[in-house]
Amino acid sequence: MTKAYYSQDIHGPFETFDLGDFELESGATLRGLKLSYATFGTLAADKSNAILFPTWYSGTNKILEWAYIGPGRALDPEKYFIILVNQIGNGLSSAPSNTPSPFNAARFPQVTIGDDVRAQHRLVTEKFGIASLALVLGGSMGAQQTFEWAVRFPDVVRRAAPIAGTARGTVHNRLLVETFIDAITSDPAFDGGWYRDAGEVHRGLRRHGRVFAASGFTQDLFNTAGWRGLGFSTTDHFVTGFVENHFLPQDPNNLVLLATKWRNNDVGRLAGGDLAAALARIKAKTLVIAIEEDVFFPLKDIAAEQALIPDSALRTISSVWGHLALFGVDAGYNTAIDAHLAELLAN
């Protein structure tokens, strides 16, 4: 199931960029690093219309395409050259599930958001010869990568739109992500990451999906059965058919790796641990976008960071779907996010 899931049939078409042996922030080496990506639109002759959009936790280029890209939308491939890049560990780019022995599974090295962004910078510059990005944006873990881009490469990023994410994880957010990791790894079948088949860990993946749903959506979504428009009949039917179903085909080691990156992220490390000093480096015109009902990344936490970013503004979107409005299931969210991105791109 896992190998079939991480395929061109489900997530394609996508291409792969081979970076060779890649030194990680930890000092370890990731052998034969490959980044998978999809592009939409045509790169302008002066290469001024490039947009980079990294993936979020458990997501791939396909969900970003479905939820955000299309003619007449803010991310219009008739205007822009849009690169959707899969972060390291998501199963399309190099990950525990697709790396040859002996560096596969539990032996896959730990990576950081900084490793992702350094690798993506090579993709942008070496593959496409792009020196300046019209926009870098991303939701959740994609927002973490957006902040890293804007701080690490301030002269490359002209506009930035971190959506529903922070530059440094709060104590609460880290605790929350720990519950996601524990839900998977506490399954005896996980066996320290040395399971024979990902399907053997289905109880941990199901438990993880339910923990994820309890905080990823709002109380109102459950209390008002706001999921009925998707064709589900009961709360259990929705959580099993929508959330568990999303995670069950995925590789447990991949998810644990991604969640660990999420938990440990802190862009302040680029300025000796000083978050304010790091964010002050940003030169991009920045629109920080928050979902008002988000439990993963609350509005208050996002607003506190936005206040530290020069030439930035805060925009909010209300959605009963909470953090997981990012998936494009709420028409109101989709309209609002397009309006905010169009505003940023017009400046």
Supply the residues annotated as catalytic: 140, 294, 323
Specify the 3-state DSSP secondary structure of 294. Answer: coil
> What is d(CA 78, CA 113) in angstroms, rounded to the nearest whole number?
30
Answer for the pair 165, 262: CB distance below 8 angstroms, yes or no. no
Report the half-sphere exposure of 171 (CA within 13 A, side-chain side): 0
Tell me which DSSP letter residue 266 carries: B
Alpha carbon dihedral 203, 205, 210, 211, in 10-degree steps, equals 110
User: What is the β-pairing status of strands 312-317 and 15-23?
Assistant: unpaired
Q: What is the distance of C-alpha 303 from the center of its chain?
A: 20
> What is d(CA 328, CA 229) in angstroms, rounded to the nearest whole number?
13
